[in-house]
Structure 1
Amino acid sequence: MDEGTTSLRGELSRLFGELSSLNKSASAVRASISLLNIEISEREGAEKQTLTNEQLYYLISVVLETGVPASKAFALCAEEFNKPEVWAKKVIRYSPIKEQAEGVLSQLERGSNFYFQSLLKYKLLNKRKLIGSSDYRAFLKLLKEWSKISQALANKDAEIERLNSLVEGLETEIIKKDKSLQMVKDLKPKEHAIFLRNEYKDMPLTQIAKIVGVSRQTASKYISDLSR
């Protein structure tokens, strides 16, 4: 093989090496482009994933009423509003929008949601702290904790009310007993014996006589007069 052919073959080999290197670089560039496209798509998709006022109202209501974790609440919300699973996983990481959260909380204040009204009743709702949550997971976790406290307080109030009602009932009963006792004290022996026979039909005659303070025969006569 002459010297010229050898030189050409060397040049050809060098060019193939450069082409191989370029192909590797091109593959790396294409991979980087692909990753960037995926990230752009995800970011654009995230921007399109929004939480409406109605959905936020639903999430708050579910957590307050059932006490489920935020992830479960979002799963239920996705099911309720026909959203894909990826929607719940994305939106739960969003930070609350101040204006939106304030509007929904005001709507709940004006509504009749028992559990939310309990938060207001026991002064547990801290709007500033709630809206300042890092994301909706933390937002709903706070509401869940406050709701648990309010329900415990409501149970205490119910128990106090029950005990107060019991005390009132006992007081009424005591007053009635006092009145009955006073009435009995004012009765004459015959009237007292007749009263005891009417109120306590199984009370022995000897006991009636002892209570009234007369003999058995006298008590028997009093009660016999009753049947005439």
Structure 2
Amino acid sequence: MNKITTLLLLCLSSMAIAQNTSHGDTYTYKKGDPNGTGKWYMGREIAYVMGYEGMDWLDRPEREKEENTSKLLKNMNIQSGNTVADIGAGSGYHVFKIAPAAKNGFVYAVDIQDEMLAVMDYRIDTGKIDNVEVVKGSEKSVNLAVNSVDKVLMVDVYHEFRYPKEMIASIKKALRARGKVYLIEYRAEDARVPIKEVHKMSEKQAVKEFKAAGFKLEKNISNLPWQHCMVFVKA
């Protein structure tokens, strides 16, 4: 083997390593699901974010029947004085159902897409709603104050976080000592759930990722048609 061949092999090997690992090995990169990003966290491929173009799907009339969102809100047991954060709030489907329940409290509607934020701002203005604030998050932070929220809701969004480790850490800081995180994800364990596999999550995987961030699963409420309703608290 001559020097040129050896150097070429070393370069290709270095490129392969760089392609499959990232700083600190928190994230790895490899081909996976056609609908996935190719970026992996703790053995799970991260899905692409659903853009604002899918807003009509979020507000579809049949969503209540398919997901039983009314039951989800009952699961959260929202008290009138609670401060609730909906992370990845989208067009505000859940936000504006939560607001009346937290009538003496507050709701933070967090999203990273300006188009989603604009729609929620419009709904706040036209509905003259005074206990909802729109917050622009980032890919690594929910941009909420430390110890500011009692309950965090994430509906079918966590699996799309580009930086899940950083996002969970940010949520943990914002959550009060006895606060709860309600993680709603389509059940990966159920092949009958008509959602692409990369947009599903198993309880086992969720527990694995949240445990690494200092959370424990308090319970998984199994009364939704398609989704897990996993309740996490600080360990």
TM-score bin, normalised by smaller chain: under 0.3
Structure with greater Cα Rg: 1
Question: With structure 1 as the length reference, what TM-score do the two structures score?
Answer: 0.27
